[in-house]
A and B are shown apart, each in its own frame.
Chain A
Amino acid sequence: DVKVTQSSRYLVKRTGEKVFLECVQDMDHENMFWYRQDPGLGLRLIYFSYDVKMKEKGDIPEGYSVSREKKERFSLILESASTNQTSMYLCASFSVAYEQYFGPGTRLTVT
């Protein structure tokens, strides 16, 4: 059974702080994704990675960066957190059969 875990379920940070959200999958998937989920907007893709050290911008990459040093770990970085980055962040891992498996989500509040 695929397992995708995220480092925190709830996080509260101050404006201007650097924030790290980590995601780990245990199925040796090459593709990993970071989404943010906001009411009425669905899931929007921030960044994705199709291999170690490879990354591609999604639809809303501004204010975010990512790191993929190991295949199982994909990190989302908020360089200087702002209040409009308060959201639910979901990581996902993608199998060769195209099926996406989501992590439990991190609810980030920036004050």
Chain B
Amino acid sequence: GENVEQHPSTLSVQEGDSAVIKCTYSDSASNYFPWYKQELGKRPQLIIDIRSNVGEKKDQRIAVTLNKTAKHFSLHITETQPEDSAVYFCAASGTGNQFYFGTGTSLTVIP
């Protein structure tokens, strides 16, 4: 089955700096890669996703890149703000419609 690894597990950045979270996956058949943000005590919410036919996708301060050859994808947050502080999960999905999650990154943005 699929194996998704996520790094780092914790990340602290100064407000205004950029944050990058990286994930690798093992199954070359995976073709959908969502990112979720989970604030304390709340449900995970989809913030951005990318499909295997695209190399990069951007939505305001958030971007995701995908390298299918190397089997890794990354979340980039620019101009970080305190409200970006949360746990971020990556996931991979492909055949069988199952989602495999990374172990999460706890991001702290220091004002």
Residues on A facing B (Cβ under 8 Å): 31, 33, 35, 40-45, 48, 50, 58-59, 90, 92, 94, 98-105
Contacts and interface: CB of A to CB of B under 8 A. Distances in A.
B103 to A, nearest CB: 4
A33 B99 contact: yes
Contacts, number: 50
A91 to B, nearest CB: 9
- Mostly, the A contact residues are strand
Contacts of A31: 97
Interface string B4-38: 00100100000000000000000000001010100
B73 interface: no
Contacts of A98: 32, 34, 49, 93, 97
- Mostly, the B contact residues are strand
Interface residues of B, number: 23
A42 B98 contact: no
A103 B45 CA distance: 10
Contacts of A101: 46
Given A33-B99, A50-B97, A94-B97, A100 B46 contact: yes
